């Protein structure tokens, strides 16, 4: 029950939380490695070893983390292995990813509104839904601005 074990434990717990937050299982575990490693950057092979997972599944996880912008590929200095690390604004990025969902909600609501008449209960409900997500979308830029100001 040394430090190394505690790290592993905390990392796996965080991975579970990330899964709850919507990430895929292996992507979440991979992200946990990026958080808990003592190195500045890690390679796919190191992650696979750490997680006792196949190179294939790690490859897929890295791909998805790159796509959503949580990690970045580093210019590899004379090495065959690709190095990756957590991006500085990873958490803000993860949060911003909700925008996509919100916009989809807005679109879905709008589509529903278009198929109903102005007196319908359904019309009213969909309008309320639209109003909320419209509000939410509008608030996000200012919120992120406040965050960047607080840190910067």
Partner DNA sequence: CCGACTTTTCAGAAATTTCTGAAGAGTCGG
Partner DNA sequence: CCGACTCTTCAGAAATTTCTGAAAAGTCGG
**Interaction of residue 51 with its own copies, rule CB under 8 A:** no
Size of the site for its own copies (CB under 8 A): 54
Residues 26 and 58: their CA atoms lie apart, in Å, by 7
Q: Which ranges in 44-117 belong to alpha helices (H)?
A: 44-51, 55-68, 90-96, 98-114
Check: CB of residue 32 under 8 Å from CB of residue 19. no
**Interaction of residue 86 with its own copies, rule CB under 8 A:** yes
From the list 68, 86, 84, the residue with the least C-alpha distance to 32 is 86
Residues 100 and 106: their CA atoms lie apart, in Å, by 10
Q: Lay out the sheet containing 71-74: strands in order across.
A: 42-43, 83-86, 71-74
Nearer to DNA by C-beta: 87 or 123?
Answer: 87
Q: Token pair for residue 123?
A: 């019309």
Which residue in the set 63, 73, 81, 146 belongs to the binding site for its own copies (CB under 8 A)? Answer: 146
Q: Which of residues 48-107 bind DNA (CB under 7 A)?
A: 52-63, 76, 78-82
What residues make contact with its own copies under the rule CB under 8 A?
Answer: 3, 6-7, 10-11, 13-14, 17-18, 20-22, 34-40, 86, 88, 90-92, 95, 101, 104-105, 107-109, 111-112, 114-116, 120-122, 125-126, 128-129, 131-133, 135-136, 139, 143, 146-147, 150-151
| Positions in the binding site for DNA (CB under 7 A) | 24-26, 29, 43-45, 52-63, 76, 78-82
């Amino acid at each position: 029950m040394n430090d190394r074990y505690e790290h592993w434990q905390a990392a796996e717990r965080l991975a579970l939380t990330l899964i709850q937050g919507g990430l895929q299982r292996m992507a979440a575990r991979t992200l946990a490695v990026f958080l808990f490693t003592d190195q500045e950057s890690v390679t796919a092979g190191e992650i696979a070893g750490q997680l006792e997972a196949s190179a294939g599944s790690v490859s897929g996880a890295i791909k998805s983390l790159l796509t959503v912008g949580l990690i970045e590929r580093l210019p590899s200095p004379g090495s065959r292995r690709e190095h990756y690390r957590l991006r500085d604004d990873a958490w803000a990025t993860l949060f911003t990813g909700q925008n996509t969902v919100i916009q989809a909600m807005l679109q879905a609501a709008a589509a529903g509104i278009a198929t109903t008449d102005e007196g319908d209960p359904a019309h009213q409900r969909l309008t309320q839904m639209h109003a909320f997500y419209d509000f939410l979308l509008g608030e996000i830029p200012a919120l992120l601005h406040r965050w960047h100001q607080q840190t910067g």
